[in-house]
Amino acid sequence: MIILGIDPGLANTGWGVVEHVGNRFRCLGYGCVTTSATDATSIRLSKVHREIGEVIERYAPAEAAVESVYFGTNAKTAFATGQARGVALLATAHARLALGEYGPGEIKMAVVGTGGADKQQVQYMVRAILGLSHEPTPDHAADALAAAICHAHRRGAAALERLTGTTDGIADHAQTAADHEEAVR
């Protein structure tokens, strides 16, 4: 299974492509779509859409994982991030990719084991999980790889639940992550 992870942002949209087979992960590629604040918003959004579409065409993922927008104290930034997220979602829809959407705390929980992990912890664990020789940079790309890893874990948990008819604590674990994320907000 090839999964595209996306960490949306108007200035920087991270992307990462992971192959997941059994319990093994392999990084196929990662990067960041960077736009200039001096360009019109429409030009910046067009670039995000176009470059995410090119990544999809190059790596042919079957599914995608997108980080949901964190609405912090800066509404202007959240709105711009939401716009970038929208065009990234449009690119995945055009490619007819199955899509998973995850909050930042849920992604951190799946990769690091705590929803309150910092950027360095995420980068370190992404490096370890993917067997990379160095931590992926920029952090937007590491976050995108983390989203793809989270999606693979969630797919596996859902499959296990369907097979066994039980969550074996999986739903409780996900709820705890969601509760923690809500408390952080």
Q: Which residues are catalytic?
A: 7, 67, 140
Residue 2, Cβ neighbours under 10 Å: how many? Answer: 17
Answer whether the bond into residue 104 is a cis peptide, omega within 30°.
no
CA atoms within 13 A on the CB side of 111: 33
Radius of gyration of the chain (CA): 16
Cα gap 155→61, rounded to integer Å? 15
* CA angle, residues 109, 67, 153, in degrees to nearest 5: 45
Using an 8 Å Cβ cutoff, are 107 and 97 in contact? no
Cα gap 145→11, rounded to integer Å? 18
Report which DSSP code applies to 63.
E
